């Protein structure tokens, strides 16, 4: 019985250690999440990808976290088209001509580190 308990412990450890991407996200968004994890400007902790309803579509905000100043959060639609960037040096809040923070409705977090 001891080997089985050890194997179960290792399996649980491996499953909980992996960063999970919401299965309901479009495949191209899942690919972008993986791509953003591999680039250097993503913070080691505190980064996330959140789904919002905005302008009659789902959009995904790739928040890099707070490890650097003036970082931008790219906003993609379900087809992985870049709609714009939030934040940055000027503190942009406009996407497609509308104030994102006033018009967008948070749905869920699909990934976080």
Q: What is the mean pLDDT of each run of 10 residues along the chain (113 residues)?
A: 49 46 85 73 85 97 87 94 93 95 96 89
| 74 occurs within a structural domain | yes
| 15 occurs within a structural domain | no
| 98 occurs within a structural domain | yes
| 6 occurs within a structural domain | no
pTM, two decimals, is: 0.78
| 4 occurs within a structural domain | no
Give the model's pLDDT for residue 8: 47
25-34 LR contacts (CB < 8 Å, sep 24+): 25/49, 25/51, 25/60, 25/110, 25/111, 26/78, 26/79, 26/80, 28/78, 28/79, 28/80, 29/60, 29/76, 29/78, 29/80, 29/110, 31/80, 32/60, 32/62, 32/76, 32/80, 33/62, 33/110, 33/111
Q: How many domains does the chain contain in total?
A: 1
| 32 occurs within a structural domain | yes
Enclosing domain of residue 73: 20-112
Give the model's pLDDT for residue 98: 97
């Amino acid at each position: 019985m001891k080997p089985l308990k050890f194997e179960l412990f290792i399996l649980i450890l491996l499953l909980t250690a992996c960063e999970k991407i919401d299965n309901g996200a479009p495949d191209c968004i899942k690919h972008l999440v993986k791509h953003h994890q591999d680039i250097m400007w993503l913070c080691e902790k505190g980064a996330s990808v959140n789904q919002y309803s905005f302008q009659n579509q789902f959009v995904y905000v790739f928040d890099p976290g707070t490890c650097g100043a003036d970082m931008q959060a790219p906003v993609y639609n379900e087809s992985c088209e870049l709609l714009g960037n939030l934040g940055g040096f000027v503190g942009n809040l406009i996407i497609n001509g509308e104030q994102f923070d006033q018009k967008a409705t948070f749905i869920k977090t699909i990934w976080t580190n």
